[in-house]
Amino acid sequence: MKPIDRIASLGASVIGGVVSLGAYARLCALVVTRLPRVLRRPSLVSSQVHFLGNYSLLIVLISGLFVGLVLGLQGYYTLRRYGSEEALGLLVALSLVRELGPVVTALLFAGRAGTSLTAEIGLMKAGEQLAALEAMAVNPVERILGPRFVGGLVAMPLLAALFSAMGVLGGWLVGVVLIGVDAGAFWSQMSEGVDFWKDIVNGVVKSAVFGFAVTSIALYMGYSCRPTPEGVSKATTATVVAGSLAVLGLDFVLTALMFSAD
């Protein structure tokens, strides 16, 4: 391709990206404005919380445990250099509650729940089920997208809290039980250093924002994909990529906003 063609195609993909962003924003607005109607059918929302939350429980708990174990190990080796092993509890808890809990859970959520959301909606679109809903005077945004959105929004903070809790237990397992750091110092330094409002509540807010981002991206990719097997496959990949990048980008913005004044 000639250089000028390359630049032209680059410009075209940028414009295409901006157009997609606009379509995504419109879909988000549509779902959010219909939320009151969606919340009047709690059984639909409850099924989605089950589908997105309960089915992700196992991977979140196990990952949390392993991350906590590794944090405990790595943290101990580094802190031992400065004679501050007793701060291990503080290190593990702060890392998890502030950053790793929300972020890693969101990445796992994007991979597990996000892709299944995208695939399900993409296949519904391919099988004309969404058009059938419209033809039956049922709004697919209210009936299909809305409950899934609320389900993701509810499930994410809970999953992040479970991840962080399992991680702290993992750190305790490695630090206190296996290595022998003083249990009293472990827990007391942790509870003195972790602030409820600044650390835990901020962590919950972060996970809620990530839940919004990942769920809405997954729904958008499924809703706007081409109704063919290749289209659905590309959409699921796009969910993981865009969802992960959005989570990491938002993480930076939120961290800067929340933890700056220290």
Partner 1 sequence: MAFEFKAIPLPQRVLFWSLWQRHDRPLATILPMSSPATAPPARNPNALRFDGVRFGYGSRPIVDRLSLDVYRGELLAIMGGSGVGKTTLLRLMSGLVEPSHGSIEIFGEPLQTTDQESLYAIRKRIGLLFQFGALFTDLSCFENVAFPLREHANLSEGILRDLVLLKLEAVGLRGAANLMPSEVSGGMARRVALARAIALDPELILYDEPFAGLDPISLGVTARLIRRLNDALGATSIVVTHDVAETFAIADRVAVLAPSDSGARLVALGSPQELRQSSDPYVKQFLAGDESGPVRFHMSAAPIEDDFT
Partner 2 sequence: MQKTVNLLVGTFVLLGLAALLFLSLRVSNLASGSSSSSYQLVAYFDDIGGLKPRAAVRSAGVLVGRVSSIQFDDKRYQALVTLEIDSSVAFPKDSSAQILTAGLLGEKYVGLLPGAEEQALKDKDRIQLTQSALGLENVVSQFLYNRDPANTAAK
Binding residues vs partner 1 (CB under 8 A): 127-129, 131-132, 134-139, 143
Can you give the binding site for partner 2, defined by CB under 8 A? 43, 46-47, 49-50, 53-54, 57, 82, 84, 93, 97, 154-155, 157-159, 161-162, 164-166, 168, 187, 190-196, 199-200, 204, 262
Pick from partner 1, partner 2, none: which does 196 bind, CB < 5 to 8 A by kind? partner 2
Q: How far is the CB of 84 from partner 2 (least distance, A)?
A: 7
**Nearest partner of 210 among 63, 57, 99, judged by Cα:** 99
d(CA 159, CA 7): 44
Nearer to partner 2, 156 or 218 (CB): 156
Those residues whose C-beta lies under 8 Å from the C-beta of residue 174, and which sit 6 or more positions away, are 68, 69, 72, 73, 76
d(CA 208, CA 101): 12
Q: How far is the CB of 160 from partner 2 (least distance, A)?
A: 9
Pick from partner 1, partner 2, none: which does 132 bind, CB < 5 to 8 A by kind? partner 1
Cβ–Cβ < 8 Å for 167, 108: no
Pick from partner 1, partner 2, none: which does 138 bind, CB < 5 to 8 A by kind? partner 1
Q: How many CB atoms lie within 10 A of CB 135?
A: 9
d(CA 153, CA 139): 21
Nearer to partner 2, 16 or 184 (CB): 184
CA dihedral for 109, 105, 161, 220, sign (positive or negative): negative
Strand, coil or helix: what is 175? helix
Pick from partner 2, partner 1, none: which does 35 bind, CB < 5 to 8 A by kind? none
Q: How far is the CB of 30 from partner 1 (least distance, A)?
A: 12
Pick from partner 1, partner 2, none: which does 5 bind, CB < 5 to 8 A by kind? none
